[in-house]
Amino acid sequence: MRCFVLVLLIAATFASQCPKPPSDAEAKQQQIFQIVEYINKAQTPEPVVEGVEEKELKYLGHLPKNEIFSLFDERNWPEAKAAVKYLLEPKTFDDFIKAAKILITRINDEIFLYALSVAILHRPDTRGVQIPRIQDVFPDKFIPNFLLQQIREEAIRGDQNPIVNLNISSNYLNVENSLNYFTNDLGMNSHHYHYHVVHPATGVPIQTVTRDRHGSRFAHMHSQLVRRYESERLSSGLPLTESFVNWDEPIQTGFSSHLTIFKKSYYYNFRPEGITLSDLPELTKNKMLLWKHRILLGIHSQFLISANNKNVSLEREDGEDLLGNAVESSLLSINRQFYGNLHNYAHVIAGRASDPDGRYGAHNGVMHDVATSARDPLFYRWHKFIESLFQQLREHLKPYSHYELTYPAVVVEKVEVVPDKHPETVNKVRTGYTTNKLKLNPGFDFTRQSTATVNVQHLDHEPFHYKFRIYNNAQQVQNAAVRIFLAPKYDEQGHRLKVNDQRQLMIELDKFVVHLQPGVNQFLRSSSESSVTMPTKYFFGDVQDIARNHSCNCGWPEYLLLPRGSYEGLDFQLFVAVTNWDEDKVKDKVEPECQCSESLSYCGTISGKYPDRRPFGYPFERPIVESNWEDFVTQNIHISDVNIRFVGNVEEEKQIEKHH
């Protein structure tokens, strides 16, 4: 019990390092809310005309207001950058608000939302102010059009608070639909959007780009998205997804999102089965293949060519970071002219697959929009290819030796996964579908003067905790980092996965620091404390209440921490590595930045250095030479078998339990 208290004290100590929000943060938050209320709404504010310097606005207003703003589309970047710059320049908060009121009536509202969010994150006078939640401002990017139409019709009939149900459904004609509970999930898609707002790669002034490990964080977060998707495929009995490599082959999987931005009358285009990607007027596939081959050549020759024509080695500590910046094509790219815009423009080409040259005047598909792209199965095929680039880079790294992996002072004797309400079922966890309410404000084209409630069904898991027994054989306290991962044990046909195949499917569940006293240490860690996730209330709760927590809205949904599993129970393995935190931690002179502290593992910090010097995914990010885990593990690494069973609708399951 004593050690359990120590773990909580450490967490409390980290929280106490966060600078307290200024006393006027809540008042500032209300002013931001008042401005945001006009975005994507039928009513627009009165244009500000006094004190406007038109020359400062000459680069703004180019993207039509009825278009979607895409962070992937390079043609949108100059205006987005100008908008962010315009909101960063005011010297005082009052002048910032005035600038926002000037801008909101003059530019595309999606660019405005992006610029406002980036400015809030980087202005010193907005510390403690929460950026707007994308699902509150653009619920039509998350809720299918037929439900919004239902709300609209009920509002017209006089219902002051229409209530609709967004249930998980699938179509047996398309096996990919069995994964709708994951790909269409509101929280997952919200996280993906906010990640790119918190860590913008392009469309911003250079000073707003997170420099520390930007490229490697991009690689890690997106690889985790793919790996989680893979676990969901195995949960549905489907094979692992295929990497999207050949751009001249037909894409066999079609996709339709059924999303419409009502105010813009913008219908996200569908992609028929068997379509082949085509050249765009401004970009050919051959150009992208050239970028791809240059990146692959750099990986296998182990150096990239800088803008001043110097060979920069990838055989260095930040090699993956250099590659990530070049692949994502961030402003930090070592040579954007040479390595191009591979990651982003693949999204653009895929988003315009059904009407590449615009001859039919069709709108773009979901792959074109950061907020919607992860709904499309093609997203995961493309990002599996992106991850393969980093895996090829890691193939050049020397595998860790037992000496490098061993923490001599620590022995992990036992780790168990224990459901909070069913402690007798050790290492067996249940998942199921539950429901949360998303409130829609008045003023949208579909709500009119009414509010509305959407009952959103989503996957969830029963609360659980990890139970640790760790021995410290040293004479003094050890500051240890506990790193927890989960990976499927078998493929879709029931064959045991090979060590390196399993390694490349590992998803991060948690990472935390604990003080280990000499001797035996027994302590607990709740699943709700995960360094990967953001609490469920941050996705569905009242935005006024959430704002007081000063979140940056970036973080994996707490309710999606675990894969779904199967009705019969799907076998996974839990990997726990305990390392020396005194050796791992990064000392940073910058004041601690805590706006993304809810999901430090995925979202990192906005300013300063990431606190862990180890590579993302350590110690499982490098190839393993051993053919079985028994030969790989050291005394400070522990593996447990865990079974995840899906029980269907949680409410129905509760009724069954009552009868028993």
Q: What does the pLDDT look like over 106-126, one tens digit per residue?
A: 999 999 999 999 999 999 999
The answer, yes or no, to whether residue 130 has pLDDT greater than 50, is yes
DSSP H or E stretch at residue 595: none
Q: Which residues pair with 482 in a beta bridge?
A: 512, 578
Nearest CA to 87 out of 101, 100, 102, 78 is that of 100
Q: Which of 170-184, 402-416, 559-573 has the lowest mean pLDDT?
A: 170-184
Domains in the chain, start-ordered, CATH in brackets? Answer: 24-132 (1.20.1370.10), 177-258+269-396 (1.10.1280.10), 402-430+463-657 (2.60.40.1520)
Chain-centroid distance, C-alpha 541: 19
Q: 555: phi > 0 → left, psi -120 to 50 → alpha, else beta; which?
A: left
The answer, yes or no, to whether residue 297 has pLDDT greater than 90, is yes
Q: How many CB atoms lie within 10 A of CB 236?
A: 19
**In the block, which residue shows the tokens 């994964």?**
179
Q: How far apart are the first and last CA of the chain?
A: 34
Calculate Rg over the CA atoms of the chain. 25
442, with CB counted inside 10 A (0-12, 13-18, 19+), is middle
- Three-state DSSP state, 433: strand
Q: What tokens does 624 get?
A: 């393993």
Confidence of residue 656 (pLDDT cuts 50, 70, 90): very low
Q: What is the DSSP letter of 379?
A: H
DSSP H or E stretch at residue 439: strand 428-440
Cα(369)–Cα(190) distance, integer angstroms: 12
Q: What does the pLDDT look like over 611-651, one tens digit per residue?
A: 999 999 999 999 999 999 999 999 999 999 999 999 998 76
Contact present, 128 and 606 (Cβ < 8 Å): no
DSSP structure string for 25-52: HHHHHHHHHHHHTTTTSSS-PPPP-TT-
Cα(629)–Cα(620) distance, integer angstroms: 11
The answer, yes or no, to whether residue 420 has pLDDT greater than 70, is yes
Q: What tokens does 322 get?
A: 């250099």
DSSP H or E stretch at residue 221: helix 214-235
Residue type, 349: I
**What per-residue confidence (pLDDT) applies to 589?**
60
- Three-state DSSP state, 97: helix
The chain-wide mean pLDDT, for the chain, equals 91
In residues, how long is the chain? 660
Counting residues of the chain whose pLDDT is more than 70, the rounded percentage is 92
- Three-state DSSP state, 65: coil
- Is the preceding omega at residue 619 within 30 degrees of 0, hence cis? yes
- Three-state DSSP state, 201: coil
Contact present, 476 and 72 (Cβ < 8 Å): no
DSSP structure string for 618-660: TTSSS----SSHHHH--TTEEEEEEEEEEEEEHHHHHHHHHH-
Cα(30)–Cα(267) distance, integer angstroms: 32
DSSP H or E stretch at residue 181: helix 180-183
The answer, yes or no, to whether residue 193 has pLDDT greater than 60, is yes
Q: Three-state SS string across 270-307, please?
A: CECCCECCCCECCECHHHHHHHHHHHHHHHHHCEEECC
Residues taking part in catalysis: 328
**What per-residue confidence (pLDDT) applies to 658?**
41
Residue type, 174: N
375 Cβ contact list (under 8 Å, min separation 6): 183, 184, 189, 255, 257, 366
Cα(151)–Cα(154) distance, integer angstroms: 5
The answer, yes or no, to whether residue 567 has pLDDT greater than 80, is yes
